[in-house]
Amino acid sequence: MGIEHFGAAWGELAVELDWPRLGGAYCEGDGSTFFDAERVEAVLETGLVLVDDLVPSLPRGGSGRSLYFGAAVAELPLILAESLALGREVLWLNLPGDETDELTRSLRAVGTKLGLDLPLPSTHTLASIADESCDHLWMTSVLTDPDAFPALHDALYERVGTELATGRGDLAVERARADALVRELLSKVAPPAIFTTTDEELEVVRPLLADARLDIRVPRSETYSALVGDLVRFTRLARLG
């Protein structure tokens, strides 16, 4: 029944979501046509590929709890699949704003219609999550966000001095803020666990693992994310010695 619930929930959400409103969060100016039928289908298809990679990666006998940090439209298929098809507890933190408001509204409406308890995004901080309580952390394309981390975005994508650079921000300040965020996120790990992130963000994560007494294994396999096009990997975390 879990797979059927997933299919029903996604089908209803695809109709319920105000896609022109969501497009405004991804485009400067008028983003009303950003989420056309092709892009919405790509979100689902990429999400299903990532679900196929996720299932065999999840640790056996873990906490059964996932934390999605900074997740939004692209992560919807995974969040729904973990909750409805895999029966896992999903915690979901995002920044307040129009996108989070619309996701919350639509998920509530669909959940009520189908009689399902769907995960909702929360604007609480990481401090609201118990330490060492999650066996799956998800953070993709967060530290490379050109609005939140413009200078780090330029550095991690190797765009400094190019026409693609934002040319904004203070790299030292943003790196310190990113390091603090990752340290707090790693405190939520209950190893063995998986940490889903991008190649670029791994450059920030790797140097902080020893202090968290964690070891990482990075698989060779990867999948491009649906909207940003970053390489996503399901890395494995274990407790050091």
Q: How many domains does the chain have?
A: 1
Phi, psi torsion values for 235, nearest 5 degrees? -80, 155
Quote the pTM value. 0.95
Residue 188 binned pLDDT confidence (cut-offs 50, 70, 90):
very high
Q: What distance in Å separates the CA atoms of residue 218 and residue 207, rounded to the nearest whole number?
A: 14
pLDDT digits (tens, 9 = 90+) for 105-147: 999 999 999 999 999 999 999 999 999 999 999 999 999 999 9
Which CATH number do you get for residue 59? 3.40.50.150
State the residue range of the domain holding 223. 2-239
* CA–CA distances in Å: residue 89 to residues 43, 119, 120: 22, 8, 11
- Which pLDDT score is estimated for 28? 73
